[in-house]
Amino acid sequence: MSPELGHFALALACAFAFAQTILPLIGAQRRDRRLMTMAPGLALGQVIALGASFLCLIDAAISDDFSVANILENSAVTKPLLYKITGVWGNHEGSILLWALILGLCGAAVAAFGRNLPAALRARVLAVLGGVAAGFELFCLTTSDPFDRVWPAPLDGQGMNPLLQDPGLAFHPPILYTGYVGFAVPFAFAIAALIEGRVDAAWGRWVRPWAVAAWAFLTCGIALGSWWSYYVLGWGGYWFWDPVENASLIPWLSGTALMHSAIVVEKREALKIWTVLLAIATFSFSLSGTFLVRSGILNSVHAFANDPARGIFILGLLGLVIGGSLALFAWRAPSLTAGGLFSPVSREGLLVLNNILLCSICAVVLTGTMYPPFMSLLFGKTISVGKPFFDAATIPLAIPLFAFMGFGPMLPWKRAQMWPVLRRLWIAALATLLAFAVATWSLSGVLPILCATGAVWVIATSATDIANRVALFRIPLGQSFNRARFLPRAAFGAALAHAGVGVSALGLAAMSQAQHKIVEVPVGQTESLAGYDWTLAGVKTEPGPNYTALVGTIEVRRNGHLVTVMHPSKRSFNAQNQTTTEVSIHTNGFSDLYGVIGDKHGDDAHPTYVLRLHYNPLAPWMWLGALIMAFGGALSLSDRRMRVGAPRRAPAPNAVAAE
Amino acid sequence: MKRKTRRLWLVIACVAGLGAAAGLTLSAFSSNIVFFMTPSQVAAKVPPADRTIRLGGMVVAGSVHRERHGETPVNSFEVTDGQAAVTVQFEGILPDLFREGQSVVAVGSMTPSGGFAASEVLAKHDETYMPKEVAEELQKSGKWDPKFGPPPNAASWNAMTAKDAKTSSRGS
């Protein structure tokens, strides 16, 4: 029964979404207060219906209702409860429902927190969000119904790939999707601003928290995905420049640019048209990322051919959203007035540079991702580009970005002198020089050295920025502390986020020097790698609930002292005829020792085992940096100035003319 | 500063940024593009040894051998597209989903002796998954067309050795 209820609730949500699109738009156009005030209620109704629908699907998964095709294909009686729940969004249909639910939540959040928005703006923003939601709920209902029934219902489901039964992967999609979908709100604000023909400081103030929140979630989601591939796939790799990964990196890059250019709109009322365009672009990348790449339409022409209805619907919907918003942009953008003037050397100037560099990196990643499928579609040539391409093309652009990131936040607005700023940075410059010397001595390769140096520069300047603001060591410590207490949290947030970028970049640079060794050894043999002695002390076979595991014991010693004992294992799942690798990782915060056990070979009297040993310097820093970035974003969001006291909008002189 | 000067600065910065991006992309493309080839394409025209390619096809049943060179495990197996076969040498641990008779993609380059030295062997998470390049080549060579249903199951690939495939393709 509950699947039908879920289906009905989804249809109801779709109806609400359509109403949420049409009525407030008409209301805002006719200045009809009754129609405009319907938007929040409709948004709330939509999210309640979506929540009910989602709960029904979870209920069907928990109660093992294998008459539902989606549950049948992705679940089994023996699956642990956690994965029964998280498995709901582990497949195409369920993930689209989750996507719609998060979009609905964003709409409800705009309705709830947007009380101080002008009525017409709020109505239009909610209408745009409703329109996007309506499209995807319709897609869900017509082509990928998660509640489809099967008759007769089998006794057990087909189970889930054991590789995907992992806590990291279970929570990766909701976080990542919140990041993707969160950019729908800046997008909706951009469209609403284009319809109104008006972008001002207040608009920037409203958009920025949403961009920051979405960005923080996206950062966490990307880091979680990368961490998962590091500890589950067992190759010691953390980023493969796979189209699926790039699909999340592209909106992250343009979203980072958006977050920064929105500051300029808010403080200086400049870069308005550009910011609107970035908001549109970021959400378009998010949409194409999730739907084109994840559904495999772009990756393989077959997915398209196998299910033309789905492919055509998605392409049509993307065309409508992206094409429509760009057309609106082309039509209305010229009516937005240009903003304040500033000199190239000023905070605005540096934020423009930041945007140019981030967008250049974004363009490079986009080209590298799109070029192979286009070559294959247009010329029938199958090519691929991988890590060497992306490293060579993106790192040289990231290094100037690091350099400017350092002093950008310290420059005053409007016009600035370089010298006074640089003079305050001498400690940071000294630290950077030292880092350069250490990097040249310890790292090999030009790009890793530059990357590490840039990373130290970013961390050092972020610290200097805060030290300067609280006048550390220039006034008594107690007074500095007092100043720090009254410093806006956004200042701390920004410095932390920048330092986080530095920490990640340092991890990435050090990881280019990772060492590994693949050996085949009998029990008792010792291998040396990176100054450690790794001994295979023993191997045993252990039964698990639905697998048998080959568990190795590796003792790692340094200068004769035992550092750690690792237990990597290899699980063979009999039911699926599949094996998974359980990596053993020992970390001390500065480096990871990473051990993998492979197949058993040789006869039973003299067995040998394949081992894969990695020494990964600063590996945890890559994800730690991402967490720091996201935390910096959260700290900024908690700043009172972000939440309350948004500037009252001055009465519009040309509001009627723009209609 | 005048609006015009500011605009000029902006344009210069944008052109410099995007120009650098375009230049880097082109130079990286010229040296880092990896072409996909099937064993029959390799047989027809052997790529130079310094060129990295992706070799894709089915692992020939019964062709997987392992040796130890010192302590280094070396795997060798044959990859076929039903018309030709190439022997792949790979040092390291084969992926969990590597099976005889299933599709793989090996990244590496040709050796002077006509073999293929792989630096990476890819088999995907999903057992029903077939690398799209392999699927396309199978379609081109007439072994399987998605129009006529799902790909033949692993068991029948298992039976298809390079020799069988040669005779059958000659027969058809």
How distant is the Cα of A299 from the closest Cα of chain B, in angstroms? 8
Tokens read off for B6 = 């500011």
CB contact under 8 A, A344 and B9: yes
Which candidate from A299, A397, A601 shows the least CB-CB separation from B132? A299
- Region A357-385: mean pLDDT is 85
Contact A533, A564 (CB under 8 A): no
Gap between the Cα atoms of A497 and A500, Å rounded: 5
* DSSP-assigned beta bridge partners for residue A597: A611
Q: Taking the mean position of all CA atoms in its chain, how far away is CA A376?
A: 28
How sure is the predictor about B155, in pLDDT bands with cuts at 50, 70 and 90? very low
How distant is the Cα of B51 from the closest Cα of chain A, in angstroms? 13
Tokens read off for B44 = 């027809």
B70 and B18 within one domain: no
Residue A634 predicted with pLDDT over 90? yes
Contact A573, A162 (CB under 8 A): yes
Which candidate from A302, A363, A382 shows the least CB-CB separation from B18? A363
Domain extent for B154: 35-171
The single-letter DSSP state of residue A28 is H
B53 and B122 within one domain: yes
Write down the pLDDT at residue B135: 65
pLDDT in tens, A359-370: 999 999 999 988
Residues in chain A within 8 Å Cβ distance of B145: none
Write down the pLDDT at residue A585: 92
* Domain presence at residue A44: yes
B114 and B58 within one domain: yes
CB contact under 8 A, A520 and B73: yes
In angstroms, the first-to-last Cα distance of chain B is: 77
How many A×B Cβ pairs under 8 Å? 136
CB contact under 8 A, A385 and B33: yes
How distant is the Cα of B154 from the closest Cα of chain A, in angstroms? 12
How sure is the predictor about B60, in pLDDT bands with cuts at 50, 70 and 90? confident
CATH of the domain at B114: 2.40.50.140
SS3 at position A554: strand
Q: Which residues contact A20 (CB under 8 A, 6 or more apart)?
A: A39, A42, A43, A46, A107, A126, A127, A129, A130, A133, A134
Beta carbons within 10 angstroms of residue A651's beta carbon: 6
Residues in chain B within 8 Å Cβ distance of A608: 68
Gap between the Cα atoms of A466 and A469, Å rounded: 5
CA-based nearest residue in chain B for residue A609: B73
B167 and B115 within one domain: yes
Which candidate from A299, A384, A520 shows the least CB-CB separation from B34? A384
Gap between the Cα atoms of A272 and A259, Å rounded: 13
Residues in chain A within 8 Å Cβ distance of B132: 299-302
* Domain presence at residue A584: yes
Contact B21, A361 (CB under 8 A): yes
Contact B96, A579 (CB under 8 A): yes
* Domain presence at residue A532: yes
B67 and B20 within one domain: no
B68 and B55 within one domain: yes
How distant is the Cα of B25 from the closest Cα of chain A, in angstroms? 5
If one counts the domains in chain B, the total is 2
B92 and B151 within one domain: yes
Residue A562 predicted with pLDDT over 70? yes
Which candidate from B1, B14, B73 shows the least CB-CB separation from A610? B73
B56 and B25 within one domain: no
Which candidate from A299, A349, A367 shows the least CB-CB separation from B25? A367
CB contact under 8 A, A364 and B24: yes
How sure is the predictor about A543, in pLDDT bands with cuts at 50, 70 and 90? confident
Residues in chain A within 8 Å Cβ distance of B35: 381-383
B51 assigned binding-site residue: no
Q: Taking the mean position of all CA atoms in its chain, how far away is CA A241?
A: 14
Write down the pLDDT at residue A659: 34
Q: Which residues contact B93 (CB under 8 A, 6 or more apart)?
A: A518, A596, A598, A599, A610, A612, B73
SS3 at position B137: helix
Write down the pLDDT at residue A296: 57
B65 assigned binding-site residue: no
How sure is the predictor about B136, in pLDDT bands with cuts at 50, 70 and 90? low
Which residue, among A633, A654, A644, A642, has the nearest Cα to A200 in the 3D structure? Answer: A654
A19-33, A76-90, A357-371: least confidently modelled range: A76-90
Residues in chain A within 8 Å Cβ distance of B3: 338, 341
How sure is the predictor about B134, in pLDDT bands with cuts at 50, 70 and 90? low
Beta carbons within 10 angstroms of residue A527's beta carbon: 16
Contact A402, A420 (CB under 8 A): no
- What's the pTM value of the predicted model, to 2 decimals? 0.88
Which of A141, A160, A179 is the endpoint of a domain?
Answer: A160
- Region B76-83: mean pLDDT is 84
The one-letter amino acid at A176: L
In angstroms, the first-to-last Cα distance of chain A is: 49
Domain extent for A554: 515-620
Interface test with B, best of A383, A401, A521, A528 (most B CBs within 10 A): A383
Contact B98, B114 (CB under 8 A): no
How distant is the Cα of A59 from the closest Cα of chain B, in angstroms? 27
CA-based nearest residue in chain B for residue A521: B71
Gap between the Cα atoms of A140 and A391, Å rounded: 38
SS3 at position A23: helix
The one-letter amino acid at B10: L
Tell the burial category of B7 from Cβ atoms under 10 Å away from its Cβ (0-12, 13-18, 19+).
Answer: exposed
Beta carbons within 10 angstroms of residue B113's beta carbon: 9
Tell the burial category of A606 from Cβ atoms under 10 Å away from its Cβ (0-12, 13-18, 19+).
Answer: exposed
Write down the pLDDT at residue A56: 94
CB contact under 8 A, B3 and A338: yes
Write down the pLDDT at residue A302: 41
CB contact under 8 A, B73 and A518: yes
Tokens read off for A336 = 């937005």
Interface test with A, best of B93, B139, B148 (most A CBs within 10 A): B93
Q: What are the distances in angstroms from CA A128 to CA A10, A39, A108, A496, A515? A: 19, 11, 13, 34, 51
If one counts the domains in chain A, the total is 2
Percent of chain A's residues with pLDDT above 90: 43
Residue B18 predicted with pLDDT over 70? yes
Which of A160, A187, A210 is the endpoint of a domain?
Answer: A160
How distant is the Cα of B88 from the closest Cα of chain A, in angstroms? 18
B73 and B150 within one domain: yes
CA-based nearest residue in chain A for residue B26: A393
Between residues A261 and B121, which one has the greater pLDDT? Answer: A261
CB contact under 8 A, B25 and A364: yes
Tell the burial category of A588 from Cβ atoms under 10 Å away from its Cβ (0-12, 13-18, 19+).
Answer: exposed
B74 and B15 within one domain: no
* Domain presence at residue A418: no
Gap between the Cα atoms of B19 and A389, Å rounded: 17
Tokens read off for A226 = 């990368």
Residue A187 predicted with pLDDT over 90? yes
Write down the pLDDT at residue A329: 92
CA-based nearest residue in chain B for residue A390: B28
SS3 at position B47: coil
Give the HSE-up count for residue A253: Cα atoms under 13 Å, Cβ half-sphere.
24
Write down the pLDDT at residue B157: 43
Between residues A206 and A165, which one has the greater pLDDT? Answer: A206
Which of A160, A187, A216 is the endpoint of a domain?
Answer: A160
CATH of the domain at A532: 2.60.98
Tokens read off for A285 = 């990348």
Gap between the Cα atoms of A526 and A533, Å rounded: 6
Helix (H) / strand (E) containing B34: strand B33-37
- Region A320-346: mean pLDDT is 85
Gap between the Cα atoms of A295 and A303, Å rounded: 8
Write down the pLDDT at residue A105: 95
Between residues A73 and A656, which one has the greater pLDDT? Answer: A73
Gap between the Cα atoms of A443 and A452, Å rounded: 9
How distant is the Cα of A436 from the closest Cα of chain B, in angstroms? 24
pLDDT in tens, B21-58: 888 888 888 778 888 888 888 888 888 888 888 888 88
CA-based nearest residue in chain B for residue A375: B35
CA-based nearest residue in chain B for residue A398: B21
CA-based nearest residue in chain A for residue B94: A598
How distant is the Cα of B69 from the closest Cα of chain A, in angstroms? 9
Gap between the Cα atoms of A225 and A180, Å rounded: 14
pLDDT in tens, A100-130: 999 999 999 999 988 888 889 999 999 999 9
How distant is the Cα of A25 from the closest Cα of chain B, in angstroms? 36
Between residues A292 and A637, which one has the greater pLDDT? Answer: A637
B93 and B12 within one domain: no
How sure is the predictor about A453, in pLDDT bands with cuts at 50, 70 and 90? very high
Write down the pLDDT at residue A57: 93
How sure is the predictor about A192, in pLDDT bands with cuts at 50, 70 and 90? very high
Which candidate from B24, B34, B96 shows the least CB-CB separation from A383? B34
Write down the pLDDT at residue A644: 52
* Domain presence at residue A32: yes
B104 and B52 within one domain: yes
Between residues A91 and A225, which one has the greater pLDDT? Answer: A225
Beta carbons within 10 angstroms of residue B36's beta carbon: 23
CB contact under 8 A, B21 and A393: yes
How sure is the predictor about A222, in pLDDT bands with cuts at 50, 70 and 90? very high
Write down the pLDDT at residue B164: 38
* Domain presence at residue A239: no
Residues in chain B within 8 Å Cβ distance of A519: 71-73
CA-based nearest residue in chain B for residue A358: B17
Residues in chain B within 8 Å Cβ distance of A305: 146
Gap between the Cα atoms of A354 and A358, Å rounded: 6
Contact A579, A571 (CB under 8 A): yes
φ and ψ of A601, to 5 deg: -135, 175
Residues in chain B within 8 Å Cβ distance of A610: 73, 93
- Region A473-486: mean pLDDT is 82
What mean pLDDT is reported for chain A?
86
How sure is the predictor about B103, in pLDDT bands with cuts at 50, 70 and 90? confident
B152 preceded by a cis bond (ω within 30 of 0): no
Write down the pLDDT at residue B62: 83
Residues in chain A within 8 Å Cβ distance of B71: 519-521, 527
- Region B119-148: mean pLDDT is 60
Three-state SS sequence of A259-290: HHHHHHHHHHCCCHHHHHHHHHHHHHHHHHHH
What mean pLDDT is reported for chain B?
73
